[in-house]
Amino acid sequence: MKRKDFETKTLTQLCEMLMEQGETITTYETLKDFAKDQIDNDNLFLAEHICGAIKGQANYYFYDYCMGTLETPSEINDKSDLEHLIED
């Protein structure tokens, strides 16, 4: 992400753009659906891990689905949470 994008776009626009670029950003709804699928597939430990991390207070989260329980979803609450992704 370029600094100009960071400075001119909204949090939602930035998250959508970064998801399209392959960053490990996901939505609350997608994480919730993932947890439901894990319950349906009897992966209860992973479902519990996801549910324990998402409280519905953020619309976007950092999470790498390939990592399973080795990574915990973390909330993206404002643009400053994305600042480390700015390319110089």
* 4-55 pLDDT per residue, tens: 999 999 999 999 999 999 999 999 999 999 999 999 999 999 999 999 999 8
Strand ranges of the sheet holding 60-62, from the earlier edge strand across to the other edge: 25-27, 60-62, 74-76
What's the pLDDT score for residue 57? 84
Structure confidence by residue, pLDDT tens digits, 65-86: 999 999 999 999 999 999 999 9
Domain ranges of the chain: 3-85
Checking if the pLDDT of 88 tops 90, the result is no
Q: Please tell me the distance from the alpha carbon of residue 67 to that of residue 75, in angstroms, as a whole number.
A: 17
Residue 29: both structure tokens together: 């709804």
Dihedral angle, C-alpha 35, 80, 13, 26, nearest 10 °: -10
With the C-alpha atoms ordered 43, 30, 72, 55, is the resulting torsion angle positive or negative?
A: negative
